[in-house]
Amino acid sequence: MNPQKVQRDRLNNLEDLPNIGKAMATDLRILGMRTPQQLIGKDPNKLYEALCDRTGVRQDPCVIDVFISIVRFMDGGEALPWWSFTEERKRTYKKK
């Protein structure tokens, strides 16, 4: 969903999260996520690695940005576009 349209009091489905459409919701379901609340406290990098492992495909690194955006949102942060987290992801992966 477009981050500007997200309503924190209406988070019933994965598609209600910022930056999550049908395809990303499917990816989250592959990881066992069924509700937005299951993302609270998760590690976005571990979610990414698990998705790559389960699909057998190295996912686009921008998926990490999306995972950061939704975990942060569910941990109480602002609903921001996924690309707001690109620099953070690049800094984090540069250190590894």
Q: What is the 3-state secondary structure (H, E, C) of 1-19?
A: CCHHHCCCCCCCCHHHCCC
- The pLDDT score that the predictor gives to residue 93 is 75
Q: Read off the pTM.
A: 0.93
Tens of pLDDT, residues 15-67: 999 999 999 999 999 999 999 999 999 999 999 999 999 999 999 999 999 99
pLDDT band at 95 (very low <50, low <70, confident <90, very high): low
pLDDT band at 92 (very low <50, low <70, confident <90, very high): confident
- The pLDDT score that the predictor gives to residue 6 is 92
**What are the DSSP calls for 2-63, one per residue?**
-GGG--TT---SGGGSTT--HHHHHHHHHTT--SGGGGTT--HHHHHHHHHHHHTS---THH
From the list 55, 64, 54, 51, the residue with the least C-alpha distance to 96 is 64
Mean pLDDT (whole number) for 74-94: 93
Mean pLDDT (whole number) for 68-87: 97
Q: Which domains does the chain have, with CATH numbers?
A: 3-95 (1.10.150)
- pLDDT above 60: residue 96: no
Classify residue 69 by burial, with Cβ atoms within 10 Å: 0-12, 13-18, 19+. buried
